[in-house]
Structure 1
Amino acid sequence: MFNLGEKEKKNSFPVKFCDIIQKNVKLSSFTSFKIGGNADIYIRPSSQDELVAALMFIHAERIPAILLGGGSNLLIPDEGIRGAVIHTCRLNKILLEESAGHLFVQAEAGALVQDLTEFCAEHGLTGLEDFAGLPGTVGGAVFMNARCYEKSISDVLFSVSALYFSEKGCTLQEYNCRKEDWGYKQSPFQPSNKRYASLDGNRPVIVSATFGVEQGDAILIRNIMESRITDRTSKGHFKLPSAGSVFKNNHAFGKPSGQLIDEAGLRGLRIGDAQVAPWHGNFIVNTGSATARDVVELIEAVQRQVKDKTGFELEPEIIFAG
């Protein structure tokens, strides 16, 4: 376990920064699965300066760390995180901007997608209503290029401010969106080593994202949002704690992953308190006191049985931390 003593803290940080550091914090309540152990060090920055200070500290001290946003696509191990967790939940400002006759909405990485879509609805702005009801944060949605109702985040994204690392430290850079950099559930911010949660210098850290929007019909925007939320609810997205879709879809399969799982007869399959949702093959739900180990073993069992029956290998969409 990493211990951060008072002497070390005072030598490493300004006093104000020390106030945002906690030790031995339970993480399960910060994830949609409601699963996971404690973090040795928990840092919750409330400004870009505090975020930079936290990142510089973990790199200087070589402390293993992960980034936590809305926790809606993340599985925290039962033993917790040996090292630090930087939680972006307080970086949540949303602003309306106008430039050269065009409208933009800028949202910090820790802003909830539901707050972003609500902001747009309140201002009569169209472009993001298909993402209504999507759990998680703006940073996570951009990082994973979230897709809802045939629309990807990259379709409405204009630019991203992100911190990039080098031997000299980290610098804030502006990325202007280029469609060729993006793909299905892929973004230019994902590291090649696939360690999506780890803050090891191989991935930039998204600070904010700017979306291109237009003035629209406020009633129509609200109606679309409500229909999306109703559809998600009717499909059981919010019945029990889960991380949404467990496996990516693959056009080469000819069918959605959930359908392959259904046809393999795996709905309701259970290990411990982790269960393939009886109402949706591509959801794994926590029926009570599921552990991360239960979820991992269930994912592996589904992959194994689908491959045996179809020859297709399902690729997890969930990010495994730690």
Structure 2
Amino acid sequence: MLGMLRVKKSAGKINIRGRLLSDEPMAAHTTYRVGGPADLFAVPADSADLAALLRFCHSEGIEPFILGGGANILVSDRGIRGLVIDMTQINRISINNDTLQVGAGLAVSDAAAWCADRGWAGLHFLYSMPGSVGGAVWMNARCYDGEIYEVLRYVDQMHPDGSTTRYLPRAEDFDYKISPFQTANRVIVDCGIALTAADRETLWQQMHSYRADRESKGHFAAPSAGSVFKNNRAFGSPSGAIIDRLGLRGLRIGGAQVSERHANIIVNTGNATAYDIDRLATLVAEQVEQQFGFTLEREVLKVGEW
């Protein structure tokens, strides 16, 4: 409580063009549609705002939470102490020769569509995936045999003092659902993505097939964060297939339910709490370990005060 009050009292030191809110409900900003209030919630209008916010956090000893599209996270019902920085207005986009220059806050699916409309492939495999470009890079998003690292040319990153540097990707920094930004005290601001010229109609047909596949698996049927658990090749089968062997589709705790259409997705049926979702994920993992000896690793990140 004292920490919360200290953060809010310090808010007067923040001077940005964008928005600054108190006690903003995180349920309005996550794909799960759950989550309690953030002490402070800032929406920087541009990079200058972002730099001011990071300098504020650095001087006040506050660890900010960087929010992209609100996908792949489960925010506690108690909310987030400190400052949440919503990156959605850092969304500029342009093409320089065969490189996409895109702000971290732009929805990655929108970026893929923007490129496809102009006859460029590169982010096409991420079409219809929720989340932001920055979030996709942070998680090294992978689907449909594509991985963000494979097309990443550079990342402009901001440090706690507001300065920026350019990071050039190295193979040893990336792995399955791993990027160097997960352990670094820096914020993804802009990304350079390698593009390849493609037939617009053919590209859109492929992208529509990706969306149809996601729809068939129930990705958009109810609020969720997509796959709850990472896959592990050592298990010999995808995590969803392993969970399926236990017949857990439809299993419920409160308003949380293992999807009837994909066993590695937990959905909010309408009145779930973050606690419901967390307990259900824990129960699924426990049953898998008891039955098969496999330890499932969560892909969806728990955020906030648990």
Match of 2:169 in 1: 177
Match of 2:54 in 1: 55
d(CA) in 2 for partners of 1:223 and 1:234? 16
Match of 1:190 in 2: 182
Query: What amino acid maps onto 2:93 in structure 1?
Result: I
What is the deviation of 1:63?
2.7
The yes-or-no answer on 1:308 pairing with 2:282 is no
Distance 1:5 1:86, change over 3 A: closer
Aligned residue-pair number: 302
State TM-score, norm by structure 1.
0.90
Query: What amino acid maps onto 1:283 in structure 2?
Result: I
d(CA) in 2 for partners of 1:240 and 1:213? 33
RMSD: 1.7
Corresponding residue to 2:281 among 294, 299, 306: 299
What is the deviation of 1:50?
0.4
- Structure 1 segments, 4+ long, off by >6 Å, are 4-7
Distance 1:18 1:161, change over 3 A: closer
d(CA) in 2 for partners of 1:149 and 1:281? 18
d(CA) in 2 for partners of 1:104 and 1:63? 35
Tell me, which stretches of 5 or more residues in structure 1 are unaligned?
192-201
Distance 1:61 1:18, change over 3 A: farther
Match of 2:131 in 1: 136
d(CA) in 2 for partners of 1:38 and 1:7? 17
Q: Is the 8 A contact 1:9 1:18 kept in 2?
A: no
Distance 1:23 1:260, change over 3 A: same
State TM-score, norm by structure 2.
0.94
Task: Provide the identity percentage.
Answer: 43
What is the deviation of 1:121?
1.0
Tell me, which stretches of 5 or more residues in structure 2 are unaligned?
none
What is the deviation of 1:6?
9.5
Q: Is the 8 A contact 2:41 2:86 kept in 1?
A: yes
Query: What amino acid maps onto 2:66 in structure 1?
Result: L
d(CA) in 2 for partners of 1:302 and 1:143? 26
d(CA) in 2 for partners of 1:276 and 1:9? 40
Distance 1:264 1:22, change over 3 A: same
Match of 1:152 in 2: 147
Match of 1:126 in 2: 121
Q: Is the 8 A contact 1:22 1:41 kept in 2?
A: yes
Match of 1:243 in 2: 225
Q: Is the 8 A contact 1:111 1:137 kept in 2?
A: yes
Residue deviations 1:263-304 (CA, integer Å, cap 9, x gap): 022111111111111111100000011111111111111111
d(CA) in 1 for partners of 2:249 and 2:241? 10
The yes-or-no answer on 1:257 pairing with 2:239 is yes
d(CA) in 1 for partners of 2:198 and 2:39? 47
Query: What amino acid maps onto 1:284 in structure 2?
Result: I
Corresponding residue to 1:222 among 198, 204, 208: 204
What is the deviation of 1:107?
0.9
The yes-or-no answer on 1:80 pairing with 2:79 is yes
Distance 1:220 1:61, change over 3 A: same
Corresponding residue to 1:212 among 187, 194, 203: 194
